[in-house]
């Protein structure tokens, strides 16, 4: 967390850094402060959620797919009670991040004014959700892929972990419904010339009041 915090506070106009010992110039390849800030925030969220399954998924998004699965450790001597259907974008396309991507979600329910998900820390069930690309530095044309992952005991009990990667139909929008209590994660990927060039994640926390 402290390392990402250090990276996030570097000046955007700084072009190079001096390597310790040799003083050799190390030039940067594009601005990274925004990505570092996002990674720092994920670290803070994972620390707060320590012990929860969502913490593992946050760490996995920082360290990569090889970060160990909690289920592998705890369920290695018993049959799984749900199908682990999560797919990984790395298995379909090589990763070569070239730009930024920010997604958001319009939340609507009958009788209520629509709002943006990032302004709502917790949702009730039975809301209509419309995920969309808020901004990206990648120039068109490109393809968009989505992944909706359900986390926790309720998703496992219903056998609705999901996590499949689905190609967008061309409108850069993904419609869902807040069906049941728990933590959910929505990923978006921009693929251009056969490479994942930008990605973003938004958490969806659903509670029952």
Q: Which residues contact 94 (CB under 8 A, 6 or more apart)?
A: 194, 195, 196
Q: What is the pLDDT of residue 143?
A: 95
C-alpha to C-alpha distance for 114 and 135, rounded to whole angstroms = 20
Greater model confidence, 179 or 201: 201
The single-letter DSSP state of residue 22 is T
Residue-wise pLDDT for 70-123, tens only, equals 654 455 555 455 677 788 898 899 999 889 999 998 887 655 666 777 666 566
Tell which residue, 90, 118, 96, has the closest CA to residue 198.
Answer: 96
Greater model confidence, 115 or 202: 202
**Residue 150 pLDDT > 70, yes or no?**
yes
C-alpha to C-alpha distance for 151 and 205, rounded to whole angstroms = 10
Question: Where residue 209 falls among pLDDT bands split at 50, 70, 90?
Answer: very low
Greater model confidence, 173 or 112: 173
**Residue 141 pLDDT > 50, yes or no?**
yes
Q: What is the pLDDT of residue 53?
A: 67
| Average pLDDT for 52-71 | 75
The residues with which 166 forms a beta bridge, in sequence order, are: 146
Greater model confidence, 78 or 137: 137
* E strand intervals along 13-142: 16-18, 25-27, 101-108, 115-116, 128-136
This model's pTM is above 0.85: no
- Output the CA–CA distances (angstroms, integers) from residue 107 to 1, 76, 119, 148, 188, in the order listed: 31, 39, 10, 16, 17
Tell which residue, 13, 52, 58, has the closest CA to residue 31.
Answer: 13
Question: Where residue 179 falls among pLDDT bands split at 50, 70, 90?
Answer: low
**Residue 147 pLDDT > 90, yes or no?**
yes
């Amino acid at each position: 967390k402290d390392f990402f915090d250090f990276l996030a506070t570097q000046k955007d106009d700084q072009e190079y850094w001096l390597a310790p010992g040799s003083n050799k110039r190390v030039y940067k390849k594009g601005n990274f402060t925004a990505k570092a800030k996002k990674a720092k925030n994920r670290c803070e969220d994972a620390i707060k959620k320590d012990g929860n399954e969502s913490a593992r998924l946050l760490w996995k998004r920082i360290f990569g797919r090889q970060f160990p699965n909690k289920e592998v450790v705890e369920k290695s001597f018993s049959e799984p009670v749900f199908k682990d259907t999560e797919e990984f974008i790395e298995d379909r396309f090589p990763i070569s991040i070239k730009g930024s991507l920010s997604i958001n979600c319009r939340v609507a329910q009958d009788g209520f004014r629509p709002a943006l998900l990032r302004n709502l820390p917790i949702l009730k069930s039975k809301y209509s959700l419309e995920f969309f690309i808020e901004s990206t530095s990648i120039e068109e044309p490109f393809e968009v892929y989505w992944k909706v992952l359900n986390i926790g005991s309720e998703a496992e009990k219903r056998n609705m972990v999901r996590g499949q990667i689905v190609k967008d139909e061309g409108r850069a929008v993904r419609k869902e419904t807040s069906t049941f209590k728990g933590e959910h994660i929505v990923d978006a990927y921009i693929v251009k010339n056969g490479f994942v060039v930008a990605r973003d994640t938004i958490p969806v926390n659903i509670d029952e009041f």
